[in-house]
Amino acid sequence: MRFEIKTPVSEDTVPVWNDPMALTFLDRLIFRADEAAHDVVLRDADLLSESEWFQHARQIARDLLLELCELARASAWSAERADVTTWQISTSAEAERALRIANSPLKVLVENRLRDGALLEVAVRLLAGELVQKLWLHPPMPPAIDVVHSGGTGDMSAFIAREANSARQAGLPLRLIVVVDSDRSNPEQPPSQLATEIEQKASELGARPFILAKHEAESYIPDFHWRIELTRDPQNPGWANKITDLLSGSVDDRDYCDMGKLGYKRVPAQYDQKRPYHLEVLLQRVQQQNEPAVRDEMAIDLRARDHLGELDAILRLIDQER
């Protein structure tokens, strides 16, 4: 997010950096911006050196203010990103609200955290930029990004409505990305009626919907995962044929088949009594792999399976909205 600290419109109003009621909010805002990677812009940086805020700042806050002033001078003629909402701060009330906004996480709503949430974390670990990785994997408190689930598509619209109502009552913007399966069975078919209803509800209430083009989250599992799965029991013709059939399928077959009906969602009980989801196992494999060259190969494989670039698009949306 982006916060702009500026001179008030009315000449009779005390500048926010000289308002004793606002100084604690401003201090906490720049600390939060530093840990949660929010942007703070000082439009009138040259006025701050004699301000109450600067004069009475503790050393660490003064250092951050000096950095912000230098950034303000260096970027005076730079173009602003049109896709980022800027929150104006010129009064104590606006400073207090800005702090609450800065402390509110961007929520990413998924159908199932164990499955869809695992896929997103795999994408973060293999495809995301350094900043999103840091905020996701080593979050500040409160977190800057929070993955939440509704218990299934049937409850997603109600969840979105509750989040929107809570944000409205708190006087905060709704910061919510909604990721939902399309359940399509072929590329010409539109998303399911339920997915479309969720998209409409999200758009109506100000959330950012994203319907996956493929059938479901399991449709994005990269080939390296299935090749490793084959090694669980390579001498079993049933297991070997099952994995080989999946890997040899056409792009459309793999993108739009129902992985649950075909038995590709959970590891069979004969190989793992806990029967974890394959997406859970995929995430564990990515988490445990520390060799950069192997991780690069995993990323290439993931992008190949996600040939439409949807996971990268979701990561860009997260980076934009965070």
Q: Which residues contact 102 (CB under 8 A, 6 or more apart)?
A: 1, 3, 29, 32, 33, 36, 38
For the stretch 144-171, pLDDT in tens is 999 999 877 889 999 999 999 999 999 9
Residue 75 pLDDT > 60: no
How much is the pLDDT for 63? 78
pTM score: 0.92
Reported as type and span, the H/E element at residue 206 is none
Q: With a cut of 70, say whether residue 82 has pLDDT above it.
A: no
- What integer pLDDT is reported at residue 279 of this predicted model? 98
- pLDDT over 60 (residue 79): no
- Over residues 171-221, the pLDDT tens digits come to 999 999 999 999 999 999 999 999 999 999 999 999 999 999 999 999 999
Residue-wise DSSP of 217-277: GGGG--HHHHHHHHTTSTT-HHHHHHHHHHHHS-HHHHHHS-TTTTT-SB--TTT-TT--B
pLDDT, the chain, mean: 91
Residue-level pLDDT at 56: 75
Tell whether the model's pLDDT for residue 70 goes beyond 60: yes
The single residue listed with the structure tokens 């909604």 is: 178
pLDDT at 80: 56
Kindly state the average pLDDT of the residues 111-139.
96
Q: SS3 for 190?
A: coil
| The three-state (H, E, C) secondary structure of 40-77, written as one string | EEECCHHHHHHCHHHHCCCHHHHHHHHHHHHHHHHCCC
Tens-place pLDDT, residues 289-304: 999 999 999 999 999 9
Question: What's residue 309's pLDDT?
Answer: 97
pLDDT of 24-38, one tens digit each?
Answer: 999 899 889 889 999
